[in-house]
Amino acid sequence: QVQLQESGPGLVKPSETLSLTCTVSGGSIRNNYWSWIRQSPGKGLEWIGFVYYTGTTNYNPSLKSRVTISMGTSKNQFSLKLTSVTAADTAVYYCARAPGGLLPFDYWGQGTLVTVSS
Amino acid sequence: DIQLTQSPSSLSASVGDRVTITCRASQDIDTWLVWYQQKPAKAPKSLISAASTLQSGVPSRFSGSRSGTDFTLTISSLQPEDFATYYCQQYKTYPPTFGGGTKVEIK
């Protein structure tokens, strides 16, 4: 059974960089698309972007200028960096897997709340 | 981006009721639509993909259908464990987008 677990700071100051890591267990990171999705009361569910295990990425145009998603140094991890955060970036952040580039997300992490506040 | 409009945003129903939730796409997405169920403090779980294909392990009381750009999720007989929020998501084009959600509450 594939499991995903997000980790990272729960509090980030405005204008700083939000950094999260997703650790994948129980399955191969190869041949899958690994996404970050966030959920906030104001904007609902929002896809941030994906990284393919080869390193190929695709980002939501609404966030593209501030987002970097990359495979981790550990073989079973990938990460999210979101720069210049504001209160609008406060959300629960999920990592998720899709078996293809445009397919439903079949495995999700439990989510981690990130609050942007000074 | 493709906009998905769900209705209603919330509903109250009783155990045993038939419940219908609608998701309207702003343009043709063929059948590239998935329905998720989300319970409080949990991640979404997929129920139906390709508009009408039940995911493995999902009870048969859940069904999905499509008419043009309108999609429907039906729960034929609401059970206590079905009280949750339901979301549609299109995967026709990037970026994948989600509907605003329908919260199903106990009457």
- Chain A contact for B43, CB < 8 A? yes
Q: Using CA atoms in the order A93, B40, A110, A106, what is the torsion angle rounded to 10 degrees? A: -90
Model confidence band, residue A74 (pLDDT cutoffs 50, 70, 90): confident
Nearest to B59 by CA among B72, B71, B45, B69: B45
CA A115 to chain B, closest CA, distance in angstroms equals 16
Q: How much is the mean pLDDT over chain B?
A: 97
Residues of chain A with Cβ-Cβ distance to B1 below 8 Å are: 61
Report the pLDDT value the prediction gives residue A73, as an integer from 0 to 100. 77
Q: Which of A71-78's residues contact partners 24+ apart within 8 Å by CB, and which partners? A: A71/A29, A71/A34, A72/A21, A74/A23, A75/A29, A76/A23, A76/A24, A76/A25, A76/A29, A77/A21, A77/A22, A77/A23, A77/A24, A78/A21, A78/A22, A78/A24, A78/A29, A78/A34, A78/A51
Torsion over CA: A46, A7, A12, A51 (sign): negative
Instruction: Give residue ranges of A with CB < 8 Å to any B CB.
Output: 44-47, 58, 60-62, 94, 96, 102-106, 108-111
Nearest CA in chain B to A110: B43
Structure tokens at A30: 């190869």
Band of pLDDT at residue A101, cut at 50, 70 and 90: confident
Query: Does pLDDT of A111 surpass 90?
Result: yes
Only one residue has tokens 């495995």, namely A107
Say if residues A32 and A98 touch (Cβ distance below 8 Å).
yes
Q: What is the pLDDT of residues B28-64, one digit of tens each?
A: 999 999 999 999 999 999 999 999 999 999 999 999 9
